[in-house]
Chain A
Amino acid sequence: MSASHTHDTHAAGHDDHGPMKGWRRWFYATNHKDIGSMYLIFSLVMFLTGGAMAMVIRAELLKPGMQFVDPGFFNSMTTMHALIMVFGAVMPAFTGLANWMIPLQVGAPDMALPRMNNLSFWILPFAFSLLLLTLLVPGGSPAGGWTLYPPLVLQTGDAFPMAIFAVHLMGASSIMGAINVIVTIMNMRAPGMTLLKMPLFVWTWLITAYLLIAVMPVLAGAVTMLLTDHYFGTSFFNAAGGGDPVMFQHIFWFFGHPEVYIMILPAFGVVSEIIPTFSRKPLFGYDAMVYATASIAFLSFIVWAHHMFTTGMPLVGEMFFMLSTMLIAIPTGVKVFNWTATMWKGSISFETPMLFSLSFLFLFTIGGFSGLMLAIAPADFQYHDTYFVVAHFHYVLVPGAIFSLMAATYYWLPKWTGHMYNEKLGKLHFWLSTIFVNVLFFPQHFLGLAGMPRRIPDYSTQFADWNFVSSIGGFCFGLTQLLFVYNIVSCVRGGVKASDKVWDDATPHGLEWTVSSPAPYHSFEVPPEVK
């Protein structure tokens, strides 16, 4: 795919204008780059906030016995850490990337619905302020886990309606963002850019957006029913009134499992952009990658009850959910094979984005394998609600989703800012992150297999050694992320000028490399012709 001509200047002869001055530029923003930047900054702030909560958790678990916080606050920390990381850090970060990159990659001047885009973003600071304010109200913030299972969650104090409203707001923001992504991709592509010419990042986001539209309303419905059970006397999930608390789990996980793929499919897209660039080869099996992504998305709707094997279900149900879950390994295996095949006999170089992508490839696969172990119903009866599960999903989300976000940041930051980041510092950040993420999470497999339950502030002394190692890994991993923040801030403020192609020695493909660095405020006002 190539553009017939480059678009490195503002389109002349149009009502060309720069950004508004001061706070108005951000508050009234409709430009996809401004909104993308706000999403990315917001998610970084949430990443640090959720990370600080993780430090509280790991500090408490450093030694057996109660150290710093009371058990209720500990439970609030696990709950808030998860809600903030899932809805405040990972999802908005990918939406920020989508805002920045989808118009640039499909040759569109902006997102299709720029004012709704503004609303989607500005809902988030209100939603998370509301959620964080629950820490200050009587009864404390929600402490029943991010899954919000009744009847436990109904014991939340005054924070309950605040948390429910915050979840509704996050859902509304995500749905609007998803609609915007689909409408943009389906209607704003440059002439000649057929669906099967779109970059993989765009494809993975298109499929993710459909997942979002299908499942975020389901979460909203579930929490609405919690609210009516609590305040309006309904009995959706109250057995005494004819309801069923397990039904909440079914509804929640019908949302929750696709949610996992909402957080990982765009990561697949990022890695599918970076590995070919630094392998100096086209992506191996582009079509297969698209079909594999769609297959994973489809399968994500029919596996939800593997989260609930221990609630008790008919044997045929266990068999169905076990086997359908294992099926996901096939399209995921196709992806891992194709990334590896892309590198095969490639002229590989190891810049920071490539290092993070390679780390993603290895460590996400470890998370995938432990997922397969958990999918085996009889084995899951042993692993369920242990630290093995905590290790599994953190391998998927931290060296999986978050490493891909770091790879994407290093990869596109020069295009956004016009400056190269500090490569030495980037590599140091990579090595320390990769070492400490394993020190942090790998021992949790051992803890889980030895029987340590999740969501407990104190534990038996036999778990002391690996918890100590895990906490040290956690503190070091947390501190390492300050290097990331420093590198980004330095790059935004200045540095060596980036060329338009940025990765001149490698082979970056895509329309985003045909615009100047930094990308002009208005790009592709005249659509490029894609051959």
Chain B
Amino acid sequence: MATTEEQLDRQRRIKRTTMWLALLALAFYFGFIYLSVSGARG
């Protein structure tokens, strides 16, 4: 059985990984729109 400290540590790691992955997804979303805007000739 995992100790409370281990559980808390796991919770922290889960939150951190989730946040980074969500940021990565947002970066791809806005990054591609930005690339399209900057690449437009008009």
Contacts and interface: CB of A to CB of B under 8 A. Distances in A.
B14 A213 contact: no
Nearest to A243: B40
B18 A236 contact: no
Interface string B8-40: 001001100110011011111110110011011
Instruction: Report, as a range, how many residues of chain B touch the other chain.
Output: 20 to 34
Contact of B17 (A175, A183, A241, A254): A183
Contacts of B24: 213-214
Contacts of A183: 14, 17-18, 21
A216 B32 CA distance: 11
Interface string A233-273: 00110000111100100010010000000000000000000
Instruction: Report, as a range, how many residues of chain A touch the other chain.
Output: 20 to 34
By secondary structure, the A interface counts as: helix
A215 B24 CA distance: 11
B6 to A, nearest CB: 10
A119 interface: no
Nearest to A116: B18
Nearest to A218: B32
Contacts, number: 72
Given A247-B36, A526-B1, A221 B29 contact: yes
Interface string A186-214: 11100000000000000000000000011
A220 B30 CA distance: 10
Q: Residue among B10, B26, B41, B42 with the most chain A CB within 10 A?
A: B42
Contacts of B17: 182-183, 186-187
B21 A243 contact: no
Nearest to B2: A527
A183 B25 CA distance: 14
A44 interface: no
Given A187-B10, A217-B26, A251-B32, A243 B42 contact: yes
Nearest to B22: A179
B42 to A, nearest CB: 2
A179 B41 contact: no
B21 A218 contact: no
A224 B28 CA distance: 13
A75 B26 CA distance: 33
A191 to B, nearest CB: 9
By secondary structure, the B interface counts as: helix
A242 B32 CA distance: 18
A251 B2 CA distance: 46
A406 interface: no
Given A216-B25, A221-B29, A235 B42 contact: yes
A182 B32 contact: no
A268 to B, nearest CB: 23
Contacts of B27: 217
B14 A113 contact: yes
A247 B37 CA distance: 11
Interface string A490-531: 000000000000000000000000000000000000110000
A225 B33 contact: yes
A527 B2 CA distance: 8
Given A179-B25, A218-B32, A225-B33, A235 B40 contact: yes
A236 B14 contact: no
A213 B21 contact: yes
A275 interface: no
Contact of A217 (B28, B37, B39): B28
Contacts of A242: 40-42
A112 interface: yes
A431 B2 CA distance: 49
Given A182-B17, A183-B17, A218-B32, A175 B40 contact: no
Contacts of B1: 526
Contacts of A112: 14, 18
A526 B24 CA distance: 33
B30 A221 contact: yes
B41 A244 contact: yes
Nearest to A216: B25
Interface of B: 1-2, 10, 13-14, 17-18, 21-22, 24-30, 32-33, 36-37, 39-42
Given A175-B25, A188-B10, 11 more contacts: A113-B18, A178-B21, A183-B17, A214-B28, A217-B25, A220-B29, A221-B33, A222-B32, A241-B42, A242-B42, A254-B32
Q: What are the 7 closest A-B residue pairs judged by CB atoms, nearest first?
A: A242-B42, A217-B29, A217-B28, A221-B32, A179-B21, A242-B41, A221-B33
